[in-house]
Structure 1
Amino acid sequence: MSTAARHIRRVVAAACGVALAVTLTACAGGSGEASGDGGTTDIRFIQEWPVADGFWIPWLVAKDQGFYEEAGLNVDIMTPPNTSATMQYLGTQQADLAFTTSVDIVTARSQGVPVVGIGTYGTNNNWGLMTTSGEPIKPDELSGKLIGTYNDAWSNAQLSIMLGSVGKTINDVTLVTADSSTVPLLVDGKVDAITGITNAEGSELQSLGKDYSISYSKDYGAPDAPVLMLAGNSQWLDEHPDAASAFMTATIRGLNWARQNPDKAVDIFMAAYPDAQSLDFTTLQWEATSALFGDAGVEVTADDLKQSPETWQSLVDVAVTYGLIDQSIPVSDLYTNSALGE
């Protein structure tokens, strides 16, 4: 399974799993206990996918360089057993914190799962339509085109928004669904364009020696909200505010170290997960991911990861309009900036 497929298809997998998380919450065996030996605090940090990818680099660095230990934390970077387990683990207190997506949080919370966003991972929506031609393809050029995509509601919603901005609908294109990654469909000339994000499909294309252009959905009416997020179990956050703050501080420290030392950061990832993906892919993926936080020479601060009610409201509105959730939910239920020094 390619990294490219993981982060877009993750949405539909989570939507299938959050209902189970609601059921399990009442009977969860985990106590959410977070006290370790020697005055340290144990944190169970569940990831978004069963296979490691370059997005994990900031916390791998923070652990490798001892930043968590210096903050009094013992962080267990947990790999979920399947694609729908992240919200289940977090919602049932089998994990304390999670790496997930903004849409996962919206869909989970709409079904009563006690999870909230605690920090953004990147500053904007980097999803769009990719081609290997020199110029980005525009929505008004899509009629009759073959589009490689994934079988999830969020990809369909963003594509529908782009088409709607020029008076077209999803019925004006032909969708070709990828089981794993859309990239081979484009490389093999089976489609005219693919859906994806710059630091997944984009990096995969580059690792194959393919230049690509992208038409961003945010430029055609889609919410400019980060795709990826850090999240926490609401009860755990209430009970361990200092540990949550220490985790975010140390993670930001790891992020800055990795941005300043990209080659060493990639080496740390490859040493931890040598079989997850290629060195070229990881190098390009971290370069593209790092760019989501701004210029390399500018230090990322807690303020850069803070969430806004306006961004969350835009996600809720789209989620309702395109059927990702049944009805609107208060944005105050979806996030907290407390761990970032609100």
Structure 2
Amino acid sequence: MERSVSYSTTRRCLLKGAGSALIGFGATSVLKTVGVAAGAETLSMQLQLDWLMSNQFLGDVAAKRLGYFEEEGLDVTISPGGPQFNGIPAVASEQALIGNVSSSPHIMLARAGGVPITCVAAGFQRHPFAYFSLPRNPIRTPAEMRGKRIGTPQVSVILLRALLKANGIQENELDIVPMGSEPGPLLTGQVDAMTFWETDPIVKPLGPDAIILRLWDAGIRLYASPYYVSDSTLRRQPDRVAAFVRAVSRGWAYAKQNPEKAVDLYVAEYPSADRASELEQVGLLLSYVFNDETKTAGWGAMQREIWADQLDMYEQLGQFTNRKAPTVDEMMTLSILDATQADRPKL
């Protein structure tokens, strides 16, 4: 299924979502301490996702199954989201300690709506969002989109507009077709290209010869799978946030060094996952999580310049007409990465 890459979050939505979060999580806070051994305590906490469980969280599952969270004094429950689900209210209202969203613009737009959340680490160093076409009618460059029918979910149209603007293409030079995420329309020729995460096994029916035009390569640089916390959590519990980052970074390092074993841990935790399909995708997945930047700065590294580019792009597209654009420092912080610099694997 297609993951959304843009939605609006405001204080009003936050209040509404927080009520739902309280119902979903129960009356007791997830931030409670429970004894796990004589003289030992752990924090029971929620990692709130905005999307369904997928290989996007391979390292998180490894950290849980291998006891890395427990070693940091954390009892982590991974709570999946889904289509039309907004997990940000649960984190902003501190019903969940940590959140993860599909794409960095989620955090930017929430912040612009007055929601007090801040990104602390980037799960993927590049965004795997891409435009897929077939050899019979290939689209290898943005220029080749002219005169073509491009299928994408409505929430992702903003990214297509960004790509067009960055490459000097007028919107009326092509046909934008809002649609879902199954690859059928592309296979049957209803559209000339469709958008998917390159790391998603759903692209398998398109075959090994599918043409892939990556958003990142077309000049739109976004982070995928960013981790975020509320401003209050960052201020009052930075040690807990750092503990989580240390543990999850170890989980991803394990996946990098033991991809097949990591897939087995993931399938053991979520038996509905197809092991063969996950093994086919794991190498590509890890290439988005680790790159030259992580070799020096460690897992989860972020660059202020990429956040600034994202902010500038959305300003040019008029996304802040009726609200104040956030600053880079309001959207992200390097404080947790700095605090865990010595501990995060550099791979």
Structure having the higher helix fraction is 1
Aligned match of 1:111 in 86, 110, 113?
113
Show the 5 A alignment for 1:185-196.
185-196=185-196
Output one character per residue of 1:160-196: Cα deviation in whole Å (capped at 9) or x when no partner: 23333453222221122223x1522222322111123
Output one character per residue of 1:16-37: Cα deviation in whole Å (capped at 9) or x when no partner: 6764115666997775734332
Alignment-derived partner of residue 176 in structure 2: 175
Check if 1:309 corresponds to 2:288: no
Deviation at 1:116, TM superposition (A): 0.7
Output one character per residue of 1:82-137: Cα deviation in whole Å (capped at 9) or x when no partner: 63331111111111101112111011111111211010112123333221228652
Show the 5 A alignment for 1:212-291.
212-222=210-220, 224-275=221-272, 277-291=273-287
SS of corresponding position for 1:218? coil
Alignment-derived partner of residue 344 in structure 2: none
Aligned match of 2:289 in 271, 278, 293?
293
Alignment-derived partner of residue 160 in structure 2: 159
Show the 5 A alignment for 1:73-112.
73-80=74-81, 83-100=84-101, 101-112=103-114
- Contact 1:11–1:103 at 8 Å: present in 2 too? yes
Check if 1:150 corresponds to 2:153: yes
Output one character per residue of 1:182-227: Cα deviation in whole Å (capped at 9) or x when no partner: 5222223221111233213xx42236644322223334432x2212
Q: Counterpart of 1:287 in structure 2: which amino acid?
A: G
Cα root mean square deviation, aligned: 2.9
> TM-score normalised to the size of structure 1?
0.84
Q: Counterpart of 2:89 in structure 1: which amino acid?
A: Q
- Contact 2:162–2:313 at 8 Å: present in 1 too? no
Output one character per residue of 1:126-158: Cα deviation in whole Å (capped at 9) or x when no partner: 333221228652222222211111111xx3233
After superposition, the Cα gap between the structure-2 partners of 1:87 and 1:96, relative to the gap in structure 1 and judged at 3 Å, is: same
Q: Counterpart of 1:58 in structure 2: which amino acid?
A: G
Moved more, 138-147 or 88-97: 138-147
Q: Counterpart of 1:205 in structure 2: which amino acid?
A: V
Deviation at 1:242, TM superposition (A): 1.4
- Contact 1:132–1:210 at 8 Å: present in 2 too? no
Q: Counterpart of 1:84 in structure 2: which amino acid?
A: F
Q: Counterpart of 1:168 in structure 2: which amino acid?
A: I
SS of corresponding position for 1:85? coil
Following the alignment from structure 2 to structure 1, what is the Cα–Cα distance between the partners of residues 280 and 239? 35
Instruction: Quote the sequence identity (%).
Output: 24
Following the alignment from structure 1 to structure 2, what is the Cα–Cα distance between the partners of residues 30 and 98? 19
Output one character per residue of 1:41-94: Cα deviation in whole Å (capped at 9) or x when no partner: 222111122x31111111111010111111111111122376333111111111
Check if 1:41 corresponds to 2:38: no
> TM-score normalised to the size of structure 2?
0.83
SS of corresponding position for 1:305? coil
- Contact 1:18–1:87 at 8 Å: present in 2 too? no
Q: Which runs of 5+ in 2 are unaligned?
A: 340-347
After superposition, the Cα gap between the structure-2 partners of 1:129 and 1:332, relative to the gap in structure 1 and judged at 3 Å, is: same
Alignment-derived partner of residue 343 in structure 2: none
- Contact 1:128–1:214 at 8 Å: present in 2 too? yes
After superposition, the Cα gap between the structure-2 partners of 1:231 and 1:30, relative to the gap in structure 1 and judged at 3 Å, is: farther
Q: Counterpart of 2:131 in structure 1: which amino acid?
A: L
